[in-house]
Each structure stands twice: as structure tokens, then as C-alpha cells.
Amino acid sequence: MAIQFNSLKTKYMAAFMGVAIALLITLLLAELTISSTRDRMVEFSGTFNRAVSAVLNADRDLYQAHVAELNYLSLPSESKAAADAKADYEENAQQAFDRMKLYQSSLAAYPALVERVSDFEQHYSLWKQQSSQVFALKAAGDTAAATALSQGQSLDAFSRLRDVYDTAGEAADQKIDQLGAETLGYISNRMIMLWIVSGSAFIFSVVVALMGPTLLTRNIKKLINRIHDISNGEGDLTRRLDASRQDELGDLARAFNEFVEHIDETLSGVQHSTANVRGSANEIAGSSREMASRTEKTAANLEQTTASMEDMTQAVNKTSDAAREASRLSEQTAELARDGQQAMTAVEASMDNISTSAGKVSDIITLIDSIAFQTNLLALNASVEAARAGEHGRGFAVVAQEVRTLAGRAGDAAQNIRDLIMTSAEHTENGTRMVIQASETMTRILEGVEQVNTTINRISGESQGQSDGIRQISLAINELDQITQQNAAMVEESSAAADDLREQTSHLYQMISGFKLSKQAPTVAETSSHPAPSTAPAPAPAPKKAPAPVKPLAQKTATPPRRTVPDTVSEDDWTEF
């Protein structure tokens, strides 16, 4: 797509792109400065701080190893304290070596610093050799030689080794100072460049902000003055703006000229449609009066129907209430029948218990009879034995005779009791059969009562359903009555709106007549006389049924399509503008 260099969009885009590029350069310089500073800070905190900390701790460990050596010389060789001092010496000596190695590995990126402590291992080995010999002499019992060696060659080796540690720390500090100075110089240079670029962008932005709107508003004011000339020229829509410019202002002038042309055509169409709108308004008013009359008749019929439905609802409600009362009485009867059935069941159970108890008593009587028979046999045997005994058994024979007499009486009494129990069992069995028959009768009565109750409940439910249906119909009729009343009110409003529309069309025509158009329409008086005859037969079909004239009314009110033309043209014009 070709770039239009005369366009205001291109000019302002170039200006703001320059500001954006200057801002981007400023951000890049700031990012480079911050990134470099961050790298140096990471280098200081991660590399040099670790190296300096390692060399300081190594020097401390070396000194603690020397102190452990001196303590070992002052203690007995075989004591636990001497062993602890030697272990402390070995631990600190190893830590001094390891931490110096950490220093060298941390500064591997700086060979010059590592080169300054290149003789570390030589001095460390010499010191370690001398101090180890001190411990060996002390362990061998030659304390004097060990002390002399510790204060002589071992002490000299210790001092030279500490000088190496001091040199390492000083070298790291000097390098830190050098890198800090370089970083500050780099930041200063970057800040100067940032100020230069930012100042240039600021000056350029101020120039664009001051000059751009001034040039733009100057041309827009010229366009506004010309628009005022057209708007104040007694509604003359035949005048046009100068559209000779090739930028957006020229496009605006050409669009305004097209807009005025569309307005001219639209107002001409509105002027021609005003007469048709007034005729349609007269027709709507006549049809509204006819519809109002029919709506009143419909409302009266609905009121009568509503009264009839209310009477029917009351009758159904009474039937439903009677069915519910009968259902309640039937439920009470069924409950009494259930209680009687339960009582019969309890009596039947009691009769069964009596029969069971009678059987048990009969068994006991049988046992008593058997005991009496056995006793009689024993007494008979005793009498025989007493007779054999002669005079000596006479008293025993008398006793045996009495026992036989008592056994006979017991047997007779047991037989009488058995007869009574058999008679009672027969009566109990007869009573049980009667109770069973009564229970079956109560069951049939209960089933009949439940069937009656079910039928009554069905009648009550159907009555309730009829009542609900009638209630729904009544509600629908009431709602239809309300809708009819609303329709009547809407008809009145439509009639009033038609009268108001007729007045508004006259006023609209008068307003449009104030514009100078390319195509003038005839006056309202001429056009309004044509639809007048169509309003005369409107009230004629009043005695007919309501649905008959509704269709012609809808067709007449929908005939004038020209009323939608001004709205459509207006929306297109504003969209194009």
C-alpha cells in the first residue's frame, strides 16, 4: 500500500515515531548501563567477596594453628589436652590450605592476582614441615629442641606464610578498587549519553506538541467558518464547501458536501411523505373509534362469563367439601373397624393360650392319676406283706388301707378334673371358631369401608381437579378481561396519537418548508385532501363481528411504505459522513 505523504496521519505518525525511536534509544542505553552495573555487582558480591572472605578466614586458621602449636609445647605429651591441641592444629592447618585454594579458584579469571601468590604452596609446605617437626620433637620428649625450633625456623616460616596471605588480601582489595573506578566511569559516560538523547527527545516532543495542533486547528477553523456560512444562510442546502485540499481536511469537506446532498434528498422525501402520513393518521383515528366500540362489547361479555364461572366454582367447591367430609367419616369408620379387628385378634390369641393351658393341665392330671394308680398298687403290695407278717403287720396293714383309700380318692378327683377340662376345651374351641368368624367378618367390613373411602377420595380428587380447572378458566377469563381493558385503553391512546400525528405532520411540513431544497413538494393542504374520503366508511362496519374489520384496518395502516424512507436515508448519510 502506497504511503500518502500529504496525509495528516503520515505527518503525525512520522513525528511520534521520531519521539518513540528516541525513547527506545534512551531505554536501550539505560538497559545497557543497568546490565553492566548488575554484572559488576554480581562480580563483586560473588567473586571478590568470596575470595576476600576465604583469605581472611585462611589467615585466621593459620594463626589458630600456630596457637595450637604453642599450647602443645606447654602441655605434657601424653595428656588429653596435648592430643586435643595437636588435633586442633591439624584441622586449622588444613583449613588454611583449603581456603587459600578457594581464593585462587575464585580469582581464576584474574591470572595476575593468582600469580602474586604463586609461591603459596612452597611457603606452606616449609611451614608445615617445620611445625610438624616441632610436634615430633615434643612427642619424643625433647621439649627444649622443640621450643627452640618453634621460636626459630618454624616462626620464620609462619611469618613468611602470613605475608603471602596478606599479599593475597591486598591484591584483591586493589583489584576491587580498580574495577569500582572503571564501573563509575562507565556509568558516568552512559548517563551523559542518556541526558543527551533524553534532552533531544524532549525538545523534539515540545516542538511537535506546540506546532502540530496549531497547524491543524488553523485549517479546521477555516472549515468551521465555512460550515457556519452554510448553516446561517437561511437553510440553503444548495451551497457546498471548497474540497480542493488533498489531506484529511479535504476528505472532510467532500464528505460534508455529500452529507448536505443526502440531507437535501432526505428532506425532499420527507416533505413528499408528510401528506401520506397525515392521511394514514386520519384512517387510524376512524378505525380506532370502531375498535373501541367493539372492545366495550367484548368486555361486557367477559364480565358475564366471569360471573357464571364464579357460580360454577362455588358449586364445585361445595361438592368437594362434602366429599372431604364423607372421606373423613369413612376414615373414622375404618379406624373403628381396625380397632375391632385388633381386639378380635387379641381374643383369638387369648383363646389359643387358654387351650394350650388346658392341655398342659390335662397332662398334669394324667400324671396325678398315674401316681394314684401306682400308689394304690404299692398300698396293695404293702397289705399283702402285712398279712404275711401276721400280728406284727396289722398296724402297717391299716396304714396301707388308708393309703389305698386316699389313692382311690385322688384318682376319682383327677378323673373329674379331666372331664371338666375336656368340657372347657370344647367350649374354648367353639369360642375360638366364633372369634375367627367374627374376625373374618370385621376384615370384610374393613375392606368394604376402605373401598368406600377410596371411592370418596377419588370423587374428592376429581372435584378438586374440576375446581382447579374452573379456577384456571376463571383466571384466564379475568386476564382476558384485563387485556381487553388494556386494549381499550390502547385504542384510546392510538386515537389520540393519530390526532397528534396529524398535527405533527403539519408542523413538520412547515419546518421543512423553511429549507431551500432542490426539489420542492406540493403543500400539505393539497396532499391531505386525497385520503379524506377513505376515513368516511371507517365507522360503517360497527354492527359486524369484531374480527371482520380488523384485517382491512391492518392493511390500511401498513400501506404507506414511504414513511420509512427518511429514516433509512438518514442512517446511511450519517454513516457515510
> Residues of the chain with pLDDT > 90: what percent?
1
Same-domain pairing of 268 and 192: no
Mean pLDDT across 557-567 = 40
CATH number, domain with residue 145: 1.20.1420
Same-domain pairing of 435 and 507: yes
Same-domain pairing of 190 and 256: no
Q: Quick check: 130 and 145 in contact, CB under 8 A?
A: no
How many domains are there within the chain? 2
Same-domain pairing of 162 and 267: no
Q: Quick check: 76 and 82 in contact, CB under 8 A?
A: yes
Same-domain pairing of 267 and 187: no
Give the pLDDT band of residue 507 (cuts 50, 70, 90).
Answer: confident
Q: Is the pLDDT of residue 529 over 60?
A: no
**Is 493 inside any structural domain?**
yes
Q: Is the pLDDT of residue 89 over 80?
A: yes
From CA 101, how far away is CA 114, in angstroms rounded? 10
Same-domain pairing of 43 and 186: yes
User: What is the pLDDT at residue 571?
Assistant: 39
User: What is the pLDDT at residue 91?
Assistant: 92
Same-domain pairing of 210 and 313: no
Mean pLDDT across 517-546 = 48
Domain hosting residue 453, numbered range: 249-576
Cell of 258: 455529500
**Is 26 inside any structural domain?**
yes
User: What is the pLDDT at residue 204?
Assistant: 79
> Residues of the chain with pLDDT > 70: what percent?
78
User: What is the pLDDT at residue 549?
Assistant: 40
**Is 535 inside any structural domain?**
yes
Q: Quick check: 247 and 262 in contact, CB under 8 A?
A: no
Q: Annotate 413-466 with DSSP letters as a single string.
A: HHHHHHHHHHHHHHHHHHHHHHHHHHHHHHHHHHHHHHHHHHHHHHHHHHHHHH
241: alpha, beta or left, given left = phi > 0 and alpha = psi -120 to 50?
beta
| Window from 35-44, 149-158, 508-517 with minimum mean pLDDT | 35-44
Same-domain pairing of 294 and 417: yes
User: What is the pLDDT at residue 258?
Assistant: 82
Mean pLDDT across 312-325 = 75
Please say which residue of 174, 201, 218 terminates a domain: 218
From CA 67, how far away is CA 560, in angstroms rounded? 119
Q: Quick check: 517 and 268 in contact, CB under 8 A?
A: yes
Give the pLDDT band of residue 429 (cuts 50, 70, 90).
Answer: confident
**Is 243 inside any structural domain?**
no
Cell of 24: 527506545
Please say which residue of 171, 196, 218 terminates a domain: 218
Same-domain pairing of 192 and 269: no
Same-domain pairing of 150 and 291: no
Same-domain pairing of 263 and 213: no
Task: Name the residue among 207, 198, 211 with its Cα closest to residue 21.
Answer: 198
**Is 223 inside any structural domain?**
no
| Window from 97-111, 192-206, 254-268 with minimum mean pLDDT | 254-268
CATH number, domain with residue 547: 1.10.287.950
Give the pLDDT band of residue 523 (cuts 50, 70, 90).
Answer: low
Q: Annotate 201-242 with DSSP letters as a single string.
A: HHHHHHHHHHHHHHHHHHHHHHHHHHHHHHHTSTTBTT----
Q: Mean pLDDT over all residues of the chain?
A: 74
Mean pLDDT across 182-203 = 81
Residue 382 half-sphere exposure toward CB, CA atoms < 13 A: 17
Cell of 257: 458536501
**Is 232 inside any structural domain?**
no
| Window from 203-207, 281-285, 409-413, 449-453 with minimum mean pLDDT | 281-285
Same-domain pairing of 21 and 69: yes
Higher-confidence position of 543 and 98: 98
Higher-confidence position of 513 and 382: 382
Mean pLDDT across 138-152 = 86
Q: Is the pLDDT of residue 105 over 80?
A: yes
Give the pLDDT band of residue 519 (cuts 50, 70, 90).
Answer: low
**Is 403 inside any structural domain?**
yes
Please say which residue of 218, 236, 270 terminates a domain: 218
From CA 279, how far away is CA 287, in angstroms rounded? 13
Q: Is the pLDDT of residue 42 over 60?
A: no
From CA 386, how far away is CA 402, in angstroms rounded? 13
**Is 2 inside any structural domain?**
no
Mean pLDDT across 269-279 = 72
User: What is the pLDDT at residue 234?
Assistant: 57
User: What is the pLDDT at residue 475?
Assistant: 81
Tens of pLDDT along 212-247? 677 667 667 766 776 776 666 556 666 666 677 676
User: What is the pLDDT at residue 12?
Assistant: 67
